[in-house]
Chain A
Amino acid sequence: MPKTMTVIYSAFRMAMLHWMADPQWIIPNIIAPFIFTSVALTLFKDATGPFGLYAILGGGMMGMWGNTIYASGFAIDFERWQGTLEEVMAAPSKLIHVITGRAVSNALFGLTNMVAVLLIAVLGFRISLGIADPILFTVSLAFTLLSVSALGLIFASSFVLSRSAQALTNGLETPLYIVSGSMFPIALLPFWMHPIAYVLGPTWGIDAIRLATSQDYASQTFWKGMNANMAIFLDLAVMLSITFAYVVIAVVLFRLVERQARIKGTLVQQ
């Protein structure tokens, strides 16, 4: 395995072990998406149309979002609290690779919320959700997970210097749910918000996931009226391009921020 992958895998494994050792931390990360979805499902109760699709997939998506944003913000603080940040920084492996492993594991853990949402939808609200194309659904979900993780890297880099990371995380969570149109069509948002929605990879990811789930769903991005498979392909292509841009930005930011932290000596400042 290439050295970079070894570092990413080790960080991924460590993050998984930390979650398993103290699983209660999953609750703050996914409670908001879970409750938001339950509220939406109650509002959807008497409605007809594609609302269940929006609520369930949106809720799952928000779980991934929430966990990644929260945990990315917390990643540096976690190392600070454990007293391991200096060692991580002093090690020859790059900080961004360590945080990448963490970000992927966090997004993956966020999927537990999707399972919880699905259970409450099926058992509590009697909503049935068949998946039209399971393969495209899985592919779309996996790529969206990567995109969310890459965005988490950008957040994590900016949180290296800030001790208000947790507060920022709390503040960013809901605006991102809104702008990415996780639970309603982005057409409802004011027009000036649309460009922001389109530079978020998960906006395209959730569109692809919805298209793969239901044949009745019409794309909410630029591919209205197009064949579903083609629309999914285009959604994923745009999302992967955006994800690549996130990674490039994160690499540059990590370099800058690491350098700044070393110069200012603010790395372990509480």
Chain B
Amino acid sequence: MNHLRIFLSSAVFSFRAQFDWLNPAMWLTMKLVLSLSQMAFFVFVGLFIQGPSAIPFIAIGNALQSVSWNTVFSVINITGHDKWDGTLPLVLATPAPRLPLFIGRAMIHVLDGLLSVAIAFFFAAFVFGVNFGQANALALTLTVVMTAFAMSGFGLLIGGFCFHFRNPMVFANIFTFVLLIFCGVNFPVKDLPSQIQFVSYAFPLTYGTAAARSAIAGASIFEISPVLGQQLVVGLVSIMLGYLFFQTFERSARKSGKMEAL
């Protein structure tokens, strides 16, 4: 029960903390503008190079990638805010069990990410004319939920790693944007140089974009389950590795007395 309480309070506080610097109206504006503008940019680039046939692939990829603004960028930045706002020593001083505390902080961002994807799919359908007529709604919903969860695991992994650095914002930027190259968002993974294609499969989003496109084309849950299974494994491994980084940092911080200024 105690674990659940810590998990939930950690989730709520980490989300509310962002409104220390971002007001709700701005939060909503960003949610609408970011997903539309990024999708529009790549749709226009695709339109310029490959013509109208490129639009559905790019719009769907970017719609799903919008989840990473919440589950990767925001989750990594929790680490940074703990350092900047001086709350890190308090987090480390609390006797609360660490695993629910660590995982909980990402969880509301999963819900926020689902909202982002819903908005982005709306833009894909009504601004860029992507046809969802054949879509298997259940399979697509499951894909989006799984992707948000697995990507928050990836966010926790990088966030845990970032405890060891002074400025997590740099990593938040790199790892949010790099997904645009590796995860089949704007072009298929096979278009990458063969030597680096294996990197794509370390990111849960790669499985998500593939499953989402299949679900929109009408594939059933059963058909996309192998891909989602792999995504789940990558997501869970990411969480565990992130937790390991967090524990290593905590031990080292207690020994050296260095927390914010590394």
- Contact status of A24 and B167, CB under 8 A, knowing A43-B46, A167-B22, A183-B45: yes
A51-B173 Cα distance, complex, nearest whole Å: 27
Set of chain A residues within 8 Å of B191, measured between Cβ atoms: 42, 45
Say yes or no: B180 contacts A188, CB within 8 Å: no
Interface size (A, Cβ < 8 Å)? 34
Say yes or no: B49 contacts A51, CB within 8 Å: yes
Q: Name the residue of chain B whose CB is nearest to the CB of A81.
A: B84
- Contact status of A166 and B44, CB under 8 A, knowing A35-B178, A38-B181: no
Set of chain A residues within 8 Å of B21, measured between Cβ atoms: 163-164, 166-167
Set of chain B residues within 8 Å of A35, measured between Cβ atoms: 177-178, 180-181
Chain B at the A interface: SS class: helix
Say yes or no: B187 contacts A164, CB within 8 Å: no
Q: Is B38 positioned at the interface, with any CB of A under 8 Å from its CB?
A: yes
Instruction: Report which of B30, B50, B181 forms a contact with A167, defined as CB distance below 8 A.
Output: B30
A232-B38 Cα distance, complex, nearest whole Å: 30
Say yes or no: A28 contacts B22, CB within 8 Å: no
Say yes or no: B170 contacts A24, CB within 8 Å: yes
Set of chain A residues within 8 Å of B33, measured between Cβ atoms: 171, 175
User: Which 7 A-B residue pairs are closest in the complex by CB-CB distance?
Assistant: A174-B37, A184-B48, A35-B177, A28-B173, A164-B26, A171-B33, A175-B37
30 A-B residue contacts at CB 8 Å? A28-B169, A28-B170, A31-B173, A31-B174, A35-B180, A36-B41, A39-B45, A39-B181, A39-B185, A39-B186, A40-B45, A42-B186, A42-B187, A42-B191, A43-B50, A43-B187, A44-B49, A164-B22, A164-B23, A166-B21, A167-B21, A167-B26, A171-B29, A171-B33, A177-B41, A178-B37, A178-B41, A184-B44, A184-B45, A184-B47
Q: What residues of chain A have their CB less than 8 Å away from a CB belonging to chain B?
A: 24-25, 27-28, 31-32, 35-36, 38-40, 42-45, 47, 51, 54, 163-164, 166-168, 170-171, 174-175, 177-178, 183-185, 188-189
Having A164-B22, A164-B26, A185-B48, one finds 16 other A-B pairs with CB under 8 Å, namely: A24-B167, A31-B177, A35-B178, A42-B186, A42-B191, A43-B46, A43-B49, A43-B187, A164-B23, A167-B22, A167-B26, A171-B29, A174-B37, A175-B37, A178-B44, A183-B41
